[in-house]
Structure 1
Amino acid sequence: MRALEDVETVGVVGAGTMGAGIAQVTSMAGYDVVMRDIERDYVEAGFDSIEDSLDRFVDKGTLDDDERQAVLDGITGTTDLADLADCDFVVEAAVENMDVKQDIFADLDEEVPDDVVLATNTSTLSITTIASATDRPEQVVGLHFMNPVPVMTGVEVVVGEKTDGGVVDFAHEFAEDLDKETWESDDKPGFVTNRILMPWLNEGIRAFDEGVASKEDIDKGMKLGTNVPMGPLELADHIGLDICLDASETLHEELGDRYKPAYLLKRKVDAGDLGKKTGEGFYSYE
């Protein structure tokens, strides 16, 4: 495997919310980035997201205009996975679907050199199963960024059954080079974060659905009572209700009824009210 000091170009597969955020912070850390998605419109939407995020940094005075432009100049967009062939490290941030991720990793295994580490940003799916699609399972690791990536300081490093210890160290070092803090989890369903977070979100949704309190009071009570920055309903909107449902269903399948998704969460997703990204969730957004 390549050492971190040998990494100059990082590939990011996926230009959605997570992929664009990972591409941004990686470029901000001084790496060249190749950001790939399956359609040009998705790539352009990723760049729009990055520009909006960088504008907020400029407005806050943490970046100047030249630094903002340098970050954008450091990212190349593509729809061709073969354009990642010269990357020294690749992070996958595609949709949370095992078949999709295995297909991507099988293709990456063919496209990038054998000594390149492949990371997945999955939040619930098995690293070991994803890695089984490759001939280098020892060089596959979980690198679970938190949303929004440019703001959140935490990254969860997830160790698959065959992940080499040196690759685990590499993952910690890379995240820390992006000015993030890391913690480590074994390859168990939901890892540390979502194993604990999803029941909390679902219980908050159930409490609202059952009339325990208004959504505002549920969120206010949790913020003031437990010192979290967002209550469960507000946070679910921020994450995306579809993402919360997907994660809850995966954990329900793996761990049983204590992870059963709240009925109201399913109803909201069926209605297309996915939270902040659609303008309507448990709350309404401009």
Structure 2
Amino acid sequence: MKLFASIAVIANKVKEDYVSAFAAQAALFVIMSFVPFLILLLTLIKYTPLTEEVLLQFVTNFAPDAFRQSFSSIISQLYTGSDTPLFLISLASILWTAGKGCNALIEGLNSVFDIKERRNGFVLRLYSILYTIIFVVIIVVCLLIYILGNEILSFITKHVPFVANIIEALLNIRVLLSVGLFTVFFTFLYVAIPSRHTKIRRQLPGALFSAIGWTGFSYFFSLYVNYSHNIAVLYGSLAMVVCAMLWLYVCMFIFLLGAEINLYIEQWTMGRSVDKATDITHSRKRS
């Protein structure tokens, strides 16, 4: 009964804090920052030993049909023309969308913990950009490892054989690796993003819940996308964008739900501490 009562309390708090709205807002701007981030990444890859042919083959093998032609065109343009305009546009887009995406998470966590933002706006925007870039990188890495792991291993074995053994070892523990990586990162976000001071250990339960939730939902969602053709029929060429938005929205909701769990556990623990201190005081007065 206590478990159901706790779930009811958390569910009511989620509704009062508009967690769903903040999750949707964060998902939108993270998706918007993904494309310019990808263009910026490809621009930097141009100066590595990877050739245009290798990148085009990678896009042909792994990119969704709706984006394959666009990515191939971008890669060809980067290697044949000037990349300065694309670089500047991508950088400006990342700076704007990254700040907006992380601001949604900041507002969401502040709403969860019922606190007002007191930090400098300019410094907060810089932190927002940094957090969102790290966030996008971790999402991309985990998606590549978790969903396209075997295909990427075959590709790397063929073109970069000296790191194939390392990639294979990581793929064997991909689930534990993604859960561990997300737990560490979520703990950091729960500590750093809200406008309050807290201890790391108090954020671990929600971070672990969010990490397991992200990994589990991503696995079952990938199965649904792979074996269901309803989305492709309904949305056509936009199916991939819709899937990404839906996936990221649920993941953001899980992340904010983890913060609600941390707050509930924190208040429950403090309540027990207060009750215990009250009992000790009463016992001393009686003696």
> Could you state the TM-score of these two structures normalised by the residue count of structure 2?
0.25
* Structure whose residues are more often helix by fraction: 2
* Structure whose residues are more often strand by fraction: 1
Greater RCO structure (CA 8 Å; 6+ sep): 2
Whichever of the two has the greater Rg, that structure is 2
